Structure 1
């Protein structure tokens, strides 16, 4: 059923009771929780707020949220916004490991100033029109946009804030322009929702970003130390590997090496063992404590109904896919 309104109006300016009615009516039709549908509106608001800032630097939207919102490749609600701001263009094409140390420090200082002087004030200006609050996040690279839920009850796993995570050291190509809109817009007529025109990192690159993140995390021990919301990377890769996009990425070994080489230069960590990626020794399958904490994290995602599918993959099914991918990557000629 499509909800129709006699007079076109902006959803975010409706009274809370009317917003709640729209969300509660549309969410079951979409197969998602009301809290998921509500937060998705604010994700789109945040994307529009970011990409409509005058005089901003070139940047791209990337990560799991882009896989679901832009490319429709995964049936998972992604709640955070990963943004790469292009500071690398200031330093030319080829950067050695020796030069990278100083450049990293410069980029991080520039990104902090950019966040403080441009992004934060611009987001605050847009947020105050809707009684939102904008605050620093849990790390120096995060910005949180906090919203007040109109729902009677929420879900612990789904925070009433949109986390924007910034990076200035990551590459922003290949990318392309796309438009995104909230899920609720599919089930309503004559309501105006926040929409955004954004630049998104292509999904083929995101595939390798996630594969190398998994590899490095298992070697470094980061997975066991900070497992919350990490199982989604294994879930995303298990879905991507079965798509045409995933197959293109797997066959694009030049792109794989580009991602590996960039991480090795700008995130120098001997424990990550990036050389193993170059030598067809990917490690993607967790074991022991890492396996246990990831399984618990994935169960939390299932309980929060973060997937649109009526029957999401089980954790064991995901790990079977990942084992297959690991074997394939390590035997590619």
Structure 2
């Protein structure tokens, strides 16, 4: 992939444009997909923390496991908390609610300092060497645990930002995980141009991500009426809809221990009383929000159509499938 990053602007432009034409996607999305894969390849194979990170989230579902047909523009990474000076099991030690809250806050501060003072400068230097010019890498001022790589883009599109957000958290579970191969869209259509067309990435297993998504939906189903649902959250409903149509559903159903681990993790490190996490178990788990949320959720879903490709389901289809999935889970 490094040889593509160093191509002339005209050659890269032609590569991404031709790939986009073949896929029926916007040029800017194909370009960003390349830089997402390129960045992952650097982080997991040549960065100082290649042994201390795990890939997770929606982008892993599309790029590593091909479970969803959604372009995911951010990279979610789990940072081994031992990098921050904690023992392997230290975060799990039993504490009072007050002490656990203090621990969680301290861990987040440690992560922010590490990302700002150590990780970001090293990644900036590393990516600069990779692309042959100074890389624009910086901390997001609105979210100190997000590192932004403003890649050298040739195309623009309002549906996606021309930056890659590396959302890095230490308070996250990195097991079970498996190695998966990812490749840019462009490498699939023009493999001979790439000296290296794919890269192996340690990725959270999809059956855990299934339960992560399910508990996000349970959280949203219990959101108080006066609090708005975050933007682009319709993606979680789409993702679960797609995953439910694959063997991952049965794999997740056979691993209810993972659901318990996900719930226990969120209750310890991301507690929120109104989320009703203790009810996120078969029999009482909720996936659908109240109907008064549907209009805003549908608007949100319609706004992300440019990020979907292939056979795109209607909002009604997604909701009906999620409703059926909720029934299935609650009879396990």
Structure-1-length-normalised TM-score: 0.88
Deviation at 1:313, TM superposition (A): 0.6
Taking the TM superposition and a 5 Å limit, the aligned residue runs for 1:243-322 are 243-278=246-281, 280-302=283-305, 304=306, 306-309=307-310, 311-322=311-322
Deviation at 1:100, TM superposition (A): 3.0
8 Å contact kept, 2:222–2:289: no
Deviation at 1:251, TM superposition (A): 2.6
Deviation at 1:233, TM superposition (A): 0.4
Taking the TM superposition and a 5 Å limit, the aligned residue runs for 1:82-231 are 82-87=76-81, 90-92=87-89, 94-96=92-94, 98=96, 100-128=100-128, 129-137=132-140, 138-151=142-155, 154-188=156-190, 189-192=192-195, 195-221=198-224, 225-231=228-234
Q: Which SS does the other structure have where 1:10 is aligned?
A: helix
Deviation at 1:119, TM superposition (A): 1.6
Q: 1:223 to 1:216 in 2, by over 3 A?
A: farther
1:76 aligned partner:
70
Deviation at 1:50, TM superposition (A): 2.2
Deviation at 1:270, TM superposition (A): 0.5
8 Å contact kept, 2:30–2:186: yes
8 Å contact kept, 2:125–2:135: no
Deviation at 1:9, TM superposition (A): 8.4
The CA distance in 1 between the partners of 2:282 and 2:103, in whole Å, is 28
Q: 1:96 to 1:293 in 2, by over 3 A?
A: farther
Q: Which SS does the other structure have where 1:225 is aligned?
A: coil
Q: Give the structure, 1 or 2, with the largest relative contact order (CA under 8 Å, sep 6 or more).
A: 1
Instruction: Tell me the matched-pair count.
Output: 320
1:4 aligned partner:
none
The CA distance in 2 between the partners of 1:84 and 1:127, in whole Å, is 20
* Runs of 4+ off more than 4 Å: 221-224
Deviation at 1:77, TM superposition (A): 1.1
8 Å contact kept, 1:182–1:193: no
Q: Which runs of 5+ in 1 are unaligned?
A: 1-7
Deviation at 1:301, TM superposition (A): 1.3
The CA distance in 2 between the partners of 1:193 and 1:131, in whole Å, is 23
8 Å contact kept, 1:224–1:293: no
Structure-2-length-normalised TM-score: 0.89
8 Å contact kept, 1:50–1:119: no
Deviation at 1:132, TM superposition (A): 3.2
Q: Deviations over 1:73-115 (max 9, x none)?
A: 1111111100111217725274335253343133213212321
Q: Which SS does the other structure have where 1:156 is aligned?
A: coil
The CA distance in 2 between the partners of 1:68 and 1:173, in whole Å, is 19
Deviation at 1:289, TM superposition (A): 4.5
The CA distance in 1 between the partners of 2:2 and 2:267, in whole Å, is 50
The CA distance in 1 between the partners of 2:201 and 2:272, in whole Å, is 32
Q: Indicate whether 1:331 and 2:331 are aligned.
A: yes
The CA distance in 1 between the partners of 2:9 and 2:297, in whole Å, is 37
Deviation at 1:281, TM superposition (A): 1.2
8 Å contact kept, 1:224–1:290: no
